[in-house]
Structure 1
């Protein structure tokens, strides 16, 4: 099967209607250029392109202009979206948030229900290795999904039709199209975890990114099973007092299921922010040992094998003391 036909079928499988216009997020790198080439070949009159310029590098404006020229040559509508970041840490995460916000607003203006990004199999493999190195749980190790709502929006679907394709294949698509992709130096900057993992994968030719990606997909399936079991455990083993002030959980399932039920209880009734996974894990250890604990404003007390949850009393911060 030729690649444009395969691309069109994948977009249809992910929900894109016949003749419906697809939005593309194209940065000018090899992966997103391959997305543009495949989409233009598969559905030339039913795509629109946006490039997000974060203004973080002097070259960014030229890269956006390159994508605009390429789209003009291909007869594809294009718009550059300008965003700015306030000073602060975790630049990549904040840039990602601003990028999705800009893409969502653009898609809404253009009347688009679907926006495609160029995430591919190597991205899944790199993320798996990064999260393994951070001791992530099953949920964190699972592969990204092929479709989901655009972050912060409920009217636009974000799809990833290239997830089964390796980076090398995408690079060949760009080369055959006679295009020269832009080079973002941050992709090779060892200051970033992903760049170091990417280089490590390149150096370790015995590691197969496609097999790593397949393992991440299996882990995602396992995470789905655990979530399914946790929902049933919650419905069967968690009860609420008549006045609604307390919950009681009689744990019955495996530890991984108990963790997710506990996480759900605390998330629902937390009054002091959303706890991290390692905090929930420490609370689980305490409850399993028969010790009470408090997390995110929820007081948890084990009694006779049943875990009881109620709002923690207000903390005395010393205000008003002489």
Structure 2
């Protein structure tokens, strides 16, 4: 578990140039909050080296404006102790800290844990009137994500990886990743220089997880540059944003209401039209559709054939493609 120096004024030493670099990274993604004295930043701290470094950097860059929270998923015996140690470190530094205990739903363990974590962090931020939440995603994480998604044949949106600024899921709260350009080793140095020993999650060495296998492969391939791969993800993110902009323009120009739904007269290239079709499906009341399902609908309509997705039916006609809810089936009368 993480350990801090036990002295009355245990103020970790973070090099001034490192603090200045972090301040610049944070200012680039939080221009509306960086200089506001009333804007407090919440830090998600697991106790691992990445998040502990983020806590130290944020505390040095924004003294008195940082609060921390540790989410205890209850999935490991050590987690409660690690949360308690993070609380102790925060107390030494004069940082308010909360431990958020969550229950992880069955299913995909990592996905469900992530969902529970963000719900808990959002509730905590609202209760504490925090202006934003920051997490410690870094360049190595970004490179791993890009390679994982390449291996799954993801589209542009998936390959764009993690954005430096987004929103906490299902909220309007800014979610910041100010160390996205930093390497894992650089963050570890911040912790080491402060005289701390971070917690180590054994799941990070469990090769039954795709991410761990990718991490091990990267470590064993000195010809791969993780920082360059992460930068490529950033370039893809720019392309993804451009496609979103074009899809919004296509929507305004080519999607019109119909009595039973929406009509789309596609004009843009396939990558843009797919996003418009996905938005149509969402607008007509369906959950976020999978990319493969949207691609199937697009291909069928392009070939002049009707297609269905969720409870919608899409039909080609002379004026474009019409999308509407499928008519409710009449129950057959029961024979006496």
Structure-2-length-normalised TM-score: 0.89
Matched residue, 1:131: 149
Matched residue, 1:169: 186
Show structure 1 runs of 5+ residues with no match. none
Does structure 1 residue 6 correspond to structure 2 residue 24? no
Q: Secondary structure at the match of 2:263?
A: strand
Note the 1:109-258 alignment, pairs <5 A. Answer: 109-154=127-172, 156-241=173-258, 244-258=259-273
Contact 2:146–2:160 (CA under 8 A) maintained in structure 1:
yes
Matched residue, 1:90: 108
- 2:94 corresponds to which of 75, 78, 81: 75
Contact 2:300–2:307 (CA under 8 A) maintained in structure 1:
yes
Give the Cα–Cα distance (whole angstroms) in 1 for the partners of residues 205 and 61 of structure 2: 32
Give the Cα–Cα distance (whole angstroms) in 1 for the partners of residues 160 and 81 of structure 2: 36
What is the alpha-carbon root mean square deviation over aligned residues? 1.8
Matched residue, 2:321: 307
Give the Cα–Cα distance (whole angstroms) in 1 for the partners of residues 244 and 62 of structure 2: 37
The 4+ residue runs of structure 1 with deviation greater than 4 A are: 318-322
Report 1 or 2 for greater relative contact order, CA contacts < 8 Å, sequence distance ≥ 6.
2
Deviation of the 1:321 alpha carbon: 4.9
Deviation of the 1:315 alpha carbon: 4.1
Give the Cα–Cα distance (whole angstroms) in 2 for the partners of residues 201 and 321 of structure 1: 64
Deviation of the 1:270 alpha carbon: 4.2
Give the Cα–Cα distance (whole angstroms) in 2 for the partners of residues 320 and 171 of structure 1: 70
| CA 209–107 in structure 1, closer or farther in 2 if over 3 Å, else same | same
Contact 1:270–1:296 (CA under 8 A) maintained in structure 2:
no
Give the Cα–Cα distance (whole angstroms) in 2 for the partners of residues 302 and 69 of structure 1: 63
Q: Secondary structure at the match of 1:108?
A: helix
How many residues are aligned here? 316
Contact 2:191–2:197 (CA under 8 A) maintained in structure 1:
yes
Show structure 2 runs of 5+ residues with no match. 1-15
Structure-1-length-normalised TM-score: 0.92
